[in-house]
Amino acid sequence: MRVIVTGGAGFIGSALVRYLVLDKGYEVLTIDALTYAGCEASLKVVEGKASHRFLKADICDRTAMDEAIAGFRPHRIMHLAAESHVDRSITGAADFIQTNVVGTFTLLEAARGYWNALAGEAKNAFRFLHVSTDEVYGSLGDEGLFEESTPYDPSSPYSASKAASDHLAKAWQRTYGLPVVVSNCSNNYGPYHFPEKLIPLTILNALAGRALPVYGKGENVRDWLYVDDHARALDLIIERGVPGETYNVGGRNERRNIDVVRRICAVLDELVPADAPREGLIEFVTDRPGHDARYAIDATRLETELGWRAQENFDSGIEKTVRWYLENDWWWRPLRDRYDGQRLGLNAAPA
């Protein structure tokens, strides 16, 4: 099985590449432009393996995509490359439109050209998985869950660009017959998560005794999924999902942001005792504009039709994640030094 993974030097993409190469024994070509968020060190464990190749290329570059696909002759393309940080999309949306919309279009066209030229079983078996987010559905109130049929209602430039790319992916299936499957997943956490995101930012700031910025009153709810559970889901969806269909992925692990931050503080206080409880470092900062109140995924379809279940519960997953950051400063310190987490975020100053 030959699989192309775009965005494979990113957080979820690298977890997927490690899973496909090490656990599934697939041959993988990682394509990644190595933007600020891409990190080759996340692929260290597959480095030098005959079954893994890495190509530094931009998904917006049609010639590079055509050549990569023609040269590797994949059975599957799993598309994860994206600009992914909501705060950055608010202060500079252009890269999000370019990579998430134009890049997805370019890759779909390259895949279509390749697929059109296939014949017989190879053509029937080819699959393209477009990996997306639950943020395309907008915000929930206190009740309800996002289902595959929930209307799109994105709030941020990031989620709007992902919504646009989802529509392109589905249109390429309906119009051209390209066998595209779409997945929409809730918030991921786990090892190799870039230090600007809430969970790693909190771990690293708390460890350094720095302020722990929390938007608003920390009451926004997210549905957290351990990244390795997502990687398994993606492999299952591309293997058994029906082209043209969408599969929601979520861990049934709803948590308020403030509770996530408190839980990290408690785990760290236990593992690395400090003079005072780290909860005291929490600083509430002015809320992000357009901040969705609550996301929660109904993953029934994935669970019943494809037999997937999240294996990691939130408490053990958070503890594993904190331990990983404590043991792997070789990975995060260079990133942290370049992109100081304390200065990231829209509102690093207290409200």
Touching ligand NAD, residues 154-173 (CB under 6 A): 162
Touching ligand NAD, residues 237-256 (CB under 6 A): none
Give the start-end residues of each E strand in the chain: 2-6, 27-32, 52-56, 76-79, 127-133, 180-185, 188-189, 212-215, 221-223, 225-226, 246-249, 254-256, 282-285
Measured distance CA(310)–CA(69) in Å, rounded: 32
Return the number of the residue (58 or 292) whose C-beta is nearest ligand NAD. Answer: 58
Is residue 126 within 8 Å of 118, Cβ to Cβ? yes
Tokens 């390795």 locate to: 228
Touching ligand NAD, residues 51-70 (CB under 6 A): 58-60
CA dist 282 → 162, 214, 217, 259 (Å): 31, 7, 11, 11
Q: Name the one range near ligand NAD by CB under 6 A: 43-51, 77-85, 166-174, 234-242.
A: 77-85
Return the number of the residue (9 or 281) whose C-beta is nearest ligand NAD. Answer: 9
Return the number of the residue (3 or 281) whose C-beta is nearest ligand NAD. Answer: 3
Q: Is 158 a catalytic residue?
A: yes
Q: Binding string to ligand NAD for residues 185 to 224, with x set by CB under 6 A, is what?
A: x-xx-----x------------------------------
Which residue's Cβ has the minimum distance to ligand NAD? 10
Return the number of the residue (6 or 246) whose C-beta is nearest ligand NAD. Answer: 6
Closest CA to 12 of 37, 49, 44: 37
Closest CA to 129 of 48, 246, 268: 246
Measured distance CA(267)–CA(87) in Å, rounded: 27
- What amino acid is encoded at 324 in this protein? W
344 binds ligand NAD (CB under 6 A): no
List the one residue from 28, 43, 131, 237 that touches ligand NAD (CB under 6 A): 131
> Nearest distance from residue 308's CB to ligand NAD, in Å?
15
Q: Is 134 a catalytic residue?
A: yes
Beta bridge partners of 255: 222
Touching ligand NAD, residues 86-115 (CB under 6 A): 99, 103
Measured distance CA(6)–CA(210) in Å, rounded: 35
Number of residues that bind ligand NAD (CB under 6 A): 31
> Nearest distance from residue 65's CB to ligand NAD, in Å?
9
Residues 6 or more apart in contact with residue 225 via CB below 8 angstroms: 185, 186, 187, 188, 189, 249, 250, 251, 253, 310
> Nearest distance from residue 282's CB to ligand NAD, in Å?
22
Q: Name the one range near ligand NAD by CB under 6 A: 7-15, 108-116, 149-157, 332-340.
A: 7-15
Q: Is 247 a catalytic residue?
A: no
Active-site residue set: 134-135, 158
